[in-house]
Structure 1
Amino acid sequence: MEIDYTYLYTEEQFEEIQANYDGKAEYDNGFIFLSSNTSIVHNRIKGKILTKLNIYLDGTKCEPFDEQIEVIFKSDKDLRKYKPDIFVMCENSTRQGESFTSVPKIIFEIVSKSTASHDYITKLSVYQNYGVLEYNIVEQDGKIIQYSLEDNQYRITNVFKNNDDYISTVFPDLKINLEYIFK
């Protein structure tokens, strides 16, 4: 599928492209970002984080989701339809069909070469502006960079690597050993 990265697409054009694309499509104020299906390593990392989140959040009013579900970030002059690799929604989350329209508490993006600048720059700014409390950039070589929202501004609160335990700032008793995630 050929996308013109200098052209601004309408939301309707995006929906048509997304319906016919075998991969992940995201909409960013008229721009479309396509990424191919993920790698085995990406999927292993995602599965292990999701497993731990499912166990930890079982019986609570929060639930983890993955990139199959869209999150819509929208204001008067802003429309972004993202599919975060992993995100946590809690009670009172609002939906539009099968998409969430409220802000996740936590997001994990597993960086690939093709998505790195989008994850590190664009999404970081969007997630901060919309109030995602914790944004984790997961590098496939064994590192998690944790950004926490403090006074409406992201601050790097931790860089987890090696045999560290990832510890959430939103759920302080949530711990996941990195050796488990990346082995």
Structure 2
Amino acid sequence: MGLLQENDTKFENMTLTEFDKLPRDQQERYEFVDGMVMMSPKATLIHQMLITNLIIGLGPYFKGKTCKVFSEAEIKLKNDIFIPDISILCDPDQFSGARYEDTPTIIIEVLSPATRSYDLFTKLNKYQMAGVKEYWIVDPKSQNITIHHFELSEADIYIRGEVLTTPLFKGLELALDDVFET
């Protein structure tokens, strides 16, 4: 994760309006955090497989419900723009074009070497301050998922062989063996 162009200071201290006017390269993901344009490269094959497995695992539970599973939806949180790997969005009226302008119920990020510290620190703090109810951090290296339950001020770690549940959605179960199957 880095600035849009490392040596170009015009991408620092910009406004959200200026960010929205930037041309977008379809090969990159752009986020806007604390007045800086951040980009991350395309996801690796393992990263993509984990996202796919998560969507396949979560999809049936949310079928026919108001809350829906989204991959790489652009989310506006206060004055920042994030593109989480996966988000559970529960108010369809909060979409403004391709951007969701409300707080997601759940955000899921799959760690990668390029974004690990950004996901574990910056995003964790930003998501908590914005009122996200749960932040799931998927670690391909250790094959576990940490769920930060912000409203409860606690976290749970699920490992292979376990079934993930959440108090937010009664009956939702996600087998970690299925998530980490590659």
Give the TM-score range, shorter chain.
0.7 to 0.9
> 2:117 corresponds to which letter in structure 1?
S
Tell me, what secondary structure is at the counterpart of 1:159?
Answer: strand
Aligned pair partner of 1:27 in 32, 51, 64? 32
1:117–1:17 distance in 2 versus 1, CA, 3 Å: farther
Match of 1:72 in 2: 76
The runs of 4+ residues in structure 1 deviating greater than 4 Å are none
Superposition TM-score, scaled by structure 1 size: 0.87
Match of 1:52 in 2: 57
Runs (5+) with no aligned partner, structure 2:
none
Match of 1:36 in 2: 41
Instruction: Work out the CA distance in 2 between the residues paired with 1:85 and 1:29.
Output: 20
Match of 1:3 in 2: 6
Identity %: 26
Match of 2:164 in 1: 166
More strand by share: 1
Query: Cα RMSD over matched residues?
Result: 1.9
For residues 102-142 of structure 1, give each alpha carbon's deviation from its aligned partner in whole angstroms, at most 9, with x where no partner exists: 11111110011111111111111111111111110001121
> 2:170 corresponds to which letter in structure 1?
P
Instruction: Work out the CA distance in 2 between the residues paired with 1:91 and 1:4.
Output: 39
Runs (5+) with no aligned partner, structure 1:
none
Superposition TM-score, scaled by structure 2 size: 0.88
Instruction: Work out the CA distance in 2 between the residues paired with 1:150 and 1:12.
Output: 32
Cα distance, 1:29 vs structure 2: 2.0
1:38–1:177 distance in 2 versus 1, CA, 3 Å: same
> Across the two proteins, how many residue pairs are aligned to each other?
175
Alignment of 1:74-93 (within 5 A): 74=78, 79-91=79-91, 93=93
> 2:165 corresponds to which letter in structure 1?
I
